[in-house]
Amino acid sequence: MAKISIPDTNLIYNEIHALFPNARCELLYDSDFHLLIAIMLSAQTTDISVNRVTPKLFAKYRTISDLSNAHIHEIEDIIKSIGLYRNKAKNMKALAERITNDFNGNIPSSQKELESLPGVGRKTANVYLSEWHKIPRIAVDTHVKRVSVRLGMADEKDSPEKVEEKLMKIFQEEKWIEIHHLLIFFGRYFCKAIKPECHQCPLLPICTKPLL
């Protein structure tokens, strides 16, 4: 991995912020419960796909209790356009039952307890904590890892947890939530896996894997 310098760190932040000054969570939700479900559904699919099904899903299951009492096939029918929908439906119901039975119907706010819930891994917990509770976190998805590797902030072999650790050392804690959104937007809309916009990228001078 190329040793990232403070000037390079500032450049990365400034240039991506200039491209996407309004980077934010694009999932639609109206409660902590619906946010957590939307994040779970977004695994290995797009936020756009999730936002297509959640209005109907959330209208039918307004509360954790509603979902815990749902029939699996009804959940599957609503989210069947999303990848891995059967497994996600199973985890959603199990999560609602677990929160109802073990947490008095309240979503836990600690990293450890969140990750103990069915279908909730470190990335999902990080996104939830940063978005709902505004706790500084950098959630690493495929976009964040790809951009981090291309810009010399991480190695290809690094696990998501290792990339997260490196990014938290590179950027100041007060910027963690923002840099998470910036790196996602940059990877999703500019530094894409296929046909990235290298020819007009302001960060091309420090890119380790230009695809010109």
132: tokens are: 């709902």
Among residues 123, 145, 158, 166, which one is catalytic? 123
pTM score of the predicted model: 0.93
The residue with greater pLDDT, 55 or 2, is: 55
| Active-site residue, 8 included | no
136-162 tens-digit pLDDT: 999 999 999 999 999 999 999 999 999
| Active-site residue, 3 included | no
User: In angstroms, rounded to a whole number, what is the distance separating the alpha carbons of residues 28 and 149?
Assistant: 29
Which residue in this structure is represented by tokens 């990080």? 126
25: helix, coil or strand? Answer: coil
CATH topology of domain 32-132: Endonuclease III; domain 1 (1.10.340)
Q: Architecture of 6-20+137-206 per CATH?
A: Orthogonal Bundle (1.10)
Among residues 8, 88, 93, 141, which one is catalytic? 141
User: In angstroms, rounded to a whole number, what is the distance separating the alpha carbons of residues 152 and 138?
Assistant: 17
Q: Where are the domains of the chain?
A: 6-20+137-206, 32-132
